[in-house]
């Protein structure tokens, strides 16, 4: 399976809610890091080519997907065009760049303030083959953006989006969060209205998760600021579902929407603009990963790379694969992960896909559990797949825990 | 054979934290019984739990050799005794094995209720008391005032007080010398029928029950066949000896001596504290005074969270029981919780210790119901029954009268807290009996109150309302008729027997309302709406609703880190294992003891 995640762990500033493997003020390491990343890519095994045949019944399986490369962060848009070019050249051995969906996470604040004019930079990305842009907008309320520690304003986010369109991007995703500190329902309504007006091709809306060891967690637990309760966050989520459906967006995963465009769907309930790289995660496919703290999955194991940037660079310089830990997976793990990842998709888990991925039949493996969840109104079946009901999507964890 | 005139048997009486353990260690070191190098942290408190709770649960007895100022060698037996109200009977038996006691009082804190209670016990047993004022090196120490208090309150001569700092080693020699000079030698008779007092016992998997004994008359030898007068059990002495501090076998134990007898018995039930051991071949028919079989005062249901663990729980209780004559248990079946055991304890601390040992040593996940007391219920047909489980309370129509156990409590606190204490005790149906100034600042308050109120977080509330300054002691003082009703709790329309409580009629409404409010906060939202109701008889007196859960989903991608997502799901699932399915509702453990924390106002409740 030709999927590759590349982690760029640098940020100008860490967001107050962020617990990813990211570092501020390490700009002086970027050049060495890019070299190390290219060297690591040279050490990775070449993944098998994708299966030639799509499933006969047309349902979503690994064979549906194109090869993908995903620059995640951190802030990948802190890299220069030549740096990105070098990385893609090294990656091409593993995943053919020209055929791949290549995504890059970009921070509106970084693009505008950089040495290269934003429009030139964005055009440069396209010429490198990076045709999918994921903009971390998060919200459109400036005081809230400051609480989150974001470096941009709402106006700058919009300006960046328009520049990306002007540069020629035809696949732009916007990342939003709801359930933010002090956010009211009306605030969120205004955000949803605005983002619909922008007409992005793809949208992600995540409920804020307070992670321990983040400044925001400390502020909330100490009572200095408060976040909406589950009921309000639930109402925000439902509002987004309703309004985005009315605006022609197809909800295809718990937190993801894409334009229901005129282009043919990838598969039933999977719109054309769905993020193919993330689909690989949800299909529990194998994927390679490179970069400090990046997580890869080659059944029967998962691995992640050394978190610390200097230690990562050092390990690669020694000619070693910079793996921090390898986690062995049992067949039961494979089945469980295929279920709790796959059920996040509106397309659900198809019997064809489950059998292909796990080598056993879905109903033979989970028949009782599925029947029990269906009886509770959380799960539904059709001829091809099992999938969450609307209620099941709201209570996803209650469903997923049955499989672990 | 040891000449009794050179033996001294003594104990140490102290309030928690007044320094008993440190002083014991210091005495053992000074007499060379242990070296500093050998000294484990708090040698006498061997169990982890004891160390954590800072109290001694099991009495121990250590033999020391001491050469007095005049060059004479003495044997000093230190009998350690528990320091908590739940174990008053055990304390009284340990004291009965001694001729003297060191009374250790903190130089800054002065006398506490527990100290007072134990001094009275010592005086009842005719012990010579040596007052020691400890921690004189600490800032805030006021030895003169505390000495005056000792004289005024306890009637001991303040000139007899020894000033010490066990931590700094000050006064240790004076204490040892005073033990030799002031504590009387034992006066047992050697050539009569042998008698020994059991003041503690524990089960040893190799030697059976080990009795900790004070030989009062005659002597015992290895292989002697012995009889227990109270329990009428028989046993052969497999081994006997003394603690130095490890078990050291001897050929015999004679009148005046303190040591152990290994009996080979399988359970401490047959070898109870306070019982008298005599020789089967030449028995005494005069038991030593003061024996009473262990009697639990507080009862609670223990249920395994995983119903498959019922057998494991029974096995664990049986094992604990081998070492704990005061623990009782009978099978109990709850419609809400399934099969478990109704257990009897000496008090709340004893209950907590048993629960923790079951969870820690036997790895059991347990659910414990709110503690109850034993009611005497007179039925209209004239039958008198004992009810220690609210769910077994007969229908109100056939009850003629209910009597509940009453305790006499003593509280010592600074006088500025008299108001809050009065208010608290009154809210707990207590009645004032007596007040006495111990000095210009501190008072002794005496009340009578129902034991049922006492077992419900009374001590915690007393501590919080007096900022930790009050100390408490209680003793059972009979039964009294009260206007009691059974408060039922319905979850999702179904009465949950394990949540029932016996409450006073006048307080039923308030407690019912508060309890459902508390349960609403404790029971996590389910996938459907759950009504919580309180009822007396068929009348609903309070209702709250837990709204249906709206959203529970991990809406975050974690950049391909599926292992993390999986761990979160596993953790969530693990959390649910700590809950009990009652009908279709998941109820967390804390809900079953929610009644314990009523009256704490608007304190935040942590959601499971």
pLDDT tens across A217-242, in order?
Answer: 988 888 888 999 888 988 999 999 99
Q: How many CA atoms lie within 13 A of B149 on its CB side?
A: 28
Taking the CA atoms of residue B345, residue B348, residue B352 and residue B353 in that order, the dihedral angle to the nearest 10 degrees is -60
Q: Which residues of A touch B555 (CB under 8 A)?
A: 205-207, 209, 237, 254-255
Inspect the interface and report whether the beta carbons of A400 and B549 lie closer than 8 Å: no
Higher-pLDDT residue of B278, B326: B278
pLDDT value, residue B34: 76
Inspect the interface and report whether the beta carbons of B569 and A5 lie closer than 8 Å: no
Inspect the interface and report whether the beta carbons of B551 and A5 lie closer than 8 Å: no
Report the chain B residue with the minimal C-alpha distance to residue A282: B560
Q: Residue A385 gets which letter from DSSP?
A: E
Contact in structure between A392 and A399 (CB atoms under 8 Å)? yes
Q: Which residues of A touch B557 (CB under 8 A)?
A: 204, 206, 255, 278, 281
CB contacts < 8 A (A, B): 97
Contact in structure between A140 and A189 (CB atoms under 8 Å)? no
Which residues neighbour B287 within 8 Å (Cβ) at sequence distance 6 or greater?
A: B229, B230, B275, B276
* Cα A213 to Cα A227: distance, rounded to the nearest angstrom: 17
Q: Residue A279 gets which letter from DSSP?
A: H
Asked if pLDDT for residue A65 goes beyond 60, the answer is: yes
* Cα A55 to Cα B213: distance, rounded to the nearest angstrom: 83
Asked if pLDDT for residue B584 goes beyond 50, the answer is: yes
Tokens of A271: 């719109």
Among A231, A287, A289, the residue with its CB nearest the CB of B550 is: A231
Q: What is the mean pLDDT of chain B?
A: 87
Residue A262 sits at the chain B interface (C-beta within 8 Å): no
Q: Cis bond leading into B36, ω under 30°?
A: no
Closest CA to A30 of A296, A313, A366, A276: A313
- B416-447 pLDDT, tens per residue? 999 999 999 999 999 999 999 887 888 999 99
Taking the CA atoms of residue B189, residue B192, residue B198 and residue B199 in that order, the dihedral angle to the nearest 10 degrees is -10
Q: Where are the domains of chain A?
A: 3-282, 331-403
Asked if pLDDT for residue B601 goes beyond 60, the answer is: no
Report the chain A residue with the minimal C-alpha distance to residue B558: A20
Burial class (CB in 10 A: 0-12, 13-18, 19+), A397: middle
* Cα B476 to Cα A211: distance, rounded to the nearest angstrom: 51
Residue A5 sits at the chain B interface (C-beta within 8 Å): yes
Q: Cis bond leading into B69, ω under 30°?
A: no
Q: Which residues of B touch A235 (CB under 8 A)?
A: 550
pLDDT value, residue B39: 58
- A73-85 pLDDT, tens per residue? 899 999 999 999 9
pLDDT value, residue B83: 65
Task: Find which of A177-181, A226-230, B595-599 is predicted with most confidence, using mean pLDDT.
Answer: A177-181
Among B553, B555, B565, the residue with its CB nearest the CB of A395 is: B553
- B449-497 pLDDT, tens per residue? 999 998 877 888 898 898 877 888 888 899 999 999 999 999 999 999 9
Contact in structure between B422 and B465 (CB atoms under 8 Å)? no
Tell the CATH topology of A3-282.
pyruvate-formate lyase- activating enzyme (3.80.30)
pLDDT value, residue B37: 59
Tell the CATH topology of A331-403.
Arc Repressor Mutant, subunit A (1.10.10)
Contact in structure between A252 and A269 (CB atoms under 8 Å)? yes
- B242-286 pLDDT, tens per residue? 988 888 899 999 999 999 999 999 888 889 889 999 999 999 999
pLDDT value, residue B607: 31
Mutation target for A interface from B562, B579, B584: give the one with most A CBs within 10 A.
B562
Residues of B with CB under 8 A from a CB of A: 527, 547, 549-557, 559-563, 565-566, 569-570, 572-573, 576
pLDDT value, residue B36: 63
- B78-94 pLDDT, tens per residue? 998 776 667 778 888 89
* Cα A60 to Cα A284: distance, rounded to the nearest angstrom: 12
pLDDT value, residue B187: 93
Among A233, A237, A295, the residue with its CB nearest the CB of B560 is: A295
Q: Residue A378 gets which letter from DSSP?
A: S
Residue A337 sits at the chain B interface (C-beta within 8 Å): yes
How many other β-carbons are positioned within 10 Å of the β-carbon of residue B160? 16
pLDDT value, residue B504: 93
Q: Which residues of B touch A337 (CB under 8 A)?
A: 562, 566
Residue A255 sits at the chain B interface (C-beta within 8 Å): yes
* Cα A352 to Cα A358: distance, rounded to the nearest angstrom: 10
Inspect the interface and report whether the beta carbons of B553 and A397 lie closer than 8 Å: yes
Q: Cis bond leading into B245, ω under 30°?
A: yes
Among B551, B552, B562, the residue with its CB nearest the CB of A337 is: B562
* Cα A224 to Cα A222: distance, rounded to the nearest angstrom: 6
pLDDT bin (cut points 50, 70, 90) of residue A50 is: confident
Once rounded to an integer, what is the mean pLDDT over residues A110-122?
Answer: 88
Q: Which residues of B touch A72 (CB under 8 A)?
A: 559
ipTM entry? 0.87
Closest CA to A14 of A221, A190, A282, A215: A215
How many other β-carbons are positioned within 10 Å of the β-carbon of residue B270? 20
pLDDT bin (cut points 50, 70, 90) of residue B561 is: confident
User: For the CA atoms of chain A, what is the radius of gyration?
Assistant: 21
Beta strands in B222-287 (DSSP E): 225-228, 234-236, 239-243, 247-250, 252-254, 258-262, 276-279
- B213-231 pLDDT, tens per residue? 999 999 999 999 999 999 8
Mutation target for A interface from B545, B548, B566, B604: give the one with most A CBs within 10 A.
B566
Asked if pLDDT for residue B608 goes beyond 90, the answer is: no
């Amino acid at each position: 399976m030709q999927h590759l995640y590349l982690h760029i762990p640098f940020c100008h500033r860490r967001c107050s809610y962020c617990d990813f493997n990211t570092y501020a003020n390490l700009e002086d390491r970027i050049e060495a890091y890019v070299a190390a990343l290219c060297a690591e890519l040279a050490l990775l095994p070449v993944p098998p080519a994708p299966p030639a045949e799509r499933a006969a019944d047309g349902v979503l399986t690994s064979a549906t997907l194109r090869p993908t490369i995903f620059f995640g962060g951190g802030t990948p848009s802190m890299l220069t065009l030549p740096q990105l070019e070098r990385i893609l050249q090294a990656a091409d051995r593993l995943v053919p760049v020209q055929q791949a969906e290549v995504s890059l996470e970009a921070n509106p604040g970084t693009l505008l303030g950089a040495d290269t004019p934003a429009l030139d930079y964005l055009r440069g990305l396209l010429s490198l083959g990076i045709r999918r842009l994921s903009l971390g907008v998060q919200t459109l309320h400036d005081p809230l953006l400051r609480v989150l520690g974001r470096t941009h304003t709402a106006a700058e986010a919009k300006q960046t989006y328009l520049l990306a369109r002007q540069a020629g991007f035809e696949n732009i995703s916007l990342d939003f969060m709801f359930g933010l500190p002090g956010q009211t329902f009306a605030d969120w309504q205004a955000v949803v209205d605005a983002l619909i007006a922008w007409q992005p091709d793809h949208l992600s809306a995540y409920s804020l998760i307070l992670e321990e060891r983040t400044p925001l967690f400390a502020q909330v637990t100490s009572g200095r600021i408060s976040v909406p309760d589950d009921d309000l966050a639930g109402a925000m989520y439902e509002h987004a579902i309703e309004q985005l459906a009315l605006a022609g967006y197809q909800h295809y995963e718990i937190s993801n929407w894409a334009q229901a465009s005129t282009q043919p769907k990838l598969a039933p309930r999977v719109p054309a603009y769905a993020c193919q790289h993330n689909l690989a995660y949800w299909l529990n496919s194998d994927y390679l990963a490179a970069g400090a703290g990046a997580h890869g999955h080659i059944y029967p194991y998962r691995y992640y790379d050394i978190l610390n940037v200097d230690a990562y660079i050092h390990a690669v310089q020694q000619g070693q694969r910079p793996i921090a830990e390898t986690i062995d997976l049992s067949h039961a793990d494979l089945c469980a992960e295929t279920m709790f990842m796959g059920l996040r998709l509106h397309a659900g888990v198809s019997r064809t896909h489950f059998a292909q991925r796990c080598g056993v039949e879905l109903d033979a493996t989970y028949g009782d559990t599925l029947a029990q969840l269906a009886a509770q109104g959380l799960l539904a079946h059709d001829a091809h797949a099992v999938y969450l009901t609307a209620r099941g999507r709201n209570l996803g964890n209650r469903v997923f825990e049955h499989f672990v | 054979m040891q000449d009794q005139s050179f033996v001294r048997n003594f104990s140490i009486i102290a309030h928690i934290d007044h320094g008993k353990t440190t002083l014991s260690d210091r005495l053992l070191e000074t007499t060379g019984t242990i070296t500093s190098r050998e000294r484990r942290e708090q040698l006498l408190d061997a169990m982890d739990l004891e160390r954590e709770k800072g109290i001694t649960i099991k009495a121990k007895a250590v033999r020391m050799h001491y050469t007095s100022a005049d060059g004479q060698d003495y044997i000093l037996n230190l009998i350690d005794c528990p320091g908590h109200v739940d174990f008053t009977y055990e304390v009284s038996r340990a004291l009965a094995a001694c001729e003297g006691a060191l009374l250790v009082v903190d130089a800054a804190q002065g006398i506490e209720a527990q100290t007072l209670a134990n001094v009275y016990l010592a005086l009842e047993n005719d012990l010579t008391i040596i007052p020691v004022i400890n921690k004189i090196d600490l800032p805030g120490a006021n030895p003169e005032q505390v000495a005056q208090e000792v004289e005024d309150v306890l009637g001991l001569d303040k000139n007899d007080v020894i000033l010490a700092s066990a931590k700094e080693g000050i006064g240790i020699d004076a204490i040892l010398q005073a033990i030799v000079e002031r504590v009387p030698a034992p006066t047992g008779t050697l050539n009569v029928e042998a008698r020994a007092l059991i003041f503690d016992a524990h089960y040893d998997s190799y030697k059976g029950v080990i009795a900790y004994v004070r030989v009062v008359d005659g002597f015992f030898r290895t292989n002697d066949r012995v009889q227990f007068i109270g329990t009428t059990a028989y046993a052969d002495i497999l081994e006997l000896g003394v603690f130095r501090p490890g078990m050291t076998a001897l050929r015999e134990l004679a009148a005046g001596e303190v040591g152990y007898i290994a009996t080979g018995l399988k359970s401490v039930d047959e070898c109870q504290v306070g019982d008298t051991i005599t020789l089967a071949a030449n028995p005494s028919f005069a038991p030593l005074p003061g024996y009473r079989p262990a009697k639990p005062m507080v009862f609670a249901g223990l249920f395994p969270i995983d119903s498959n663990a019922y057998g494991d729980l029974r096995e664990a209780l049986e094992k604990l029981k081998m070492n704990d004559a005061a623990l009782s248990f009978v099978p109990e079946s709850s419609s809400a919780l399934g099969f478990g055991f109704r257990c009897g304890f000496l008090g709340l601390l004893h209950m907590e210790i048993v629960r923790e040992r079951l969870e820690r040593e036997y790895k059991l996940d347990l659910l414990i119901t709110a503690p109850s007391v034993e009611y005497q219920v007179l039925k209209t047909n004239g039958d008198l029954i004992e009810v220690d489980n609210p769910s077994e309370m007969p229908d109100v129509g056939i009850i003629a009268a209910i009597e509940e156990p009453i305790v006499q409590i003593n509280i010592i606190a600074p006088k500025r807290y008299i108001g809050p204490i009065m208010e608290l005790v009154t809210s707990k149906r207590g009645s004032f009996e007596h007040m006495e100034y111990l000095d210009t600042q501190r008072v002794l308050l005496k009340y009578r109150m129902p034991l049922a109120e006492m077992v419900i977080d009374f001590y915690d509330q007393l501590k919080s309302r007096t900022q930790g300054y009050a100390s408490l002691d209680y003793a059972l003082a009979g039964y009294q008729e009260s206007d009691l009703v059974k408060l039922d709790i319905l979850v999702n329309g179904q009465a949950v027997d394990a949540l029932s409580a016996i409450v006073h009629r006048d307080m039923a409404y308030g407690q019912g309302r508060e309890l459902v409010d508390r349960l609403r906060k404790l029971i996590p939202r389910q996938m459907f709406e759950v009504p919580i109701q309180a009822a007396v008889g068929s009348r609903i007196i309070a209702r709250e609703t837990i709204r249906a859960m709206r959203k529970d989903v991990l809406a975050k991608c974690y950049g391909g880190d599926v292992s993390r997502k999986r761990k979160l799901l596993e953790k969530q699932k693990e959390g649910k294992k700590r809950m009990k399915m009652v009908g279709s509702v998941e109820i967390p453990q804390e809900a079953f003891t929610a009644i314990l924390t009523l009256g704490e106002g608007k304190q935040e409740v942590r959601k499971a």
